[in-house]
Amino acid sequence: MRRFLTVFLYLGWAPTALAASHSPYSAFDTQMPAAQPGPAMQAVDLYKRTASSIYLITAAKDDAALKRGKAVYEGSTVAITPTLALTNCHIVKGRKTLVLSQHGQIDIGTVVASDPKTDRCVIEAQTMKLNPISGVRPYDDIKVGERVFTIGNPSGLESTLGEGIVSGLRTRENVRYVQTSAPISPGSSGGGLFDDRGNLLGITSFTIEDAENLNFAIAAEDYWGKVKKKRRKKGEAGE
């Protein structure tokens, strides 16, 4: 509850900052960052390089629901530019109040591109400068058995690191997934799955219940595919 009240107070006491003008979002046409070469890193160094690119999303139906802490959902998002971040649509669906936060920094988020059928959404920060990831590995370059790491916010515990391997590469209903033994828990959805060089492989999405270590991330490369631009309604910010 304390987290939600802190966020709500920010919303209530900083209207000028949140109303800062921005140019209209034209399309999700940001170039995919190239995969970065280099030696494999130990977990401690991997964490130092990538954790600052993972943000907590607090999502609620509206400001009033956020203040009451009612039906509030927490998830994760991965920055790819100083303003844009990737996440899962199931975190933000039907929730108008979206707040991005990381270690005390707080900002409003807006869905600017989405494909709900494949659970891919793109979030734009209004005022916070995000720290983008360094590179993205193409799906076809990922190998079963390689070491991988998850970073997310399970149960609101910011920047939690997990380790495992790529367990499989799956395609279901035209969506490509990286199956992994690295842990994914509630709140981890929308976080990052990284290789040992700090490249983003996928956006952690779901785990199969009543099974052991059957976790799945949407291929990060696919966010540069057919993610549809969200049309702004007349009168919305940016028009």
Active site residues: 90, 119, 189
Task: Tell me the two tokens of residue 55.
Answer: 């943000």
Contact residues for 204 (Cβ-Cβ < 8 A; gap 6+) = 76, 150, 152, 184, 188, 189, 190, 191, 192, 193, 215, 216, 217
Give dist(CA 57, CA 158) in Å, integer: 10
Q: What are phi and psi of 86, to 5 degrees?
A: -100, 145
Give the containing element (helix H, strand E) for 112. Answer: strand 105-115
Amino acid making up residue 172: R
CA distance 95 to 72: 9
Q: C-alpha 154: how far from its chain's center? A: 13
* 232 exposure class (CB count in 10 Å sphere: 0-12, 13-18, 19+): middle
User: Distance between CA atoms of 1 and 14, rounded to whole angstroms?
Assistant: 20
CA 157 to chain centre: 15
Query: Taking a C-beta distance cutoff of 8 angstroms, is the pair 41, 198 a contact?
Result: yes
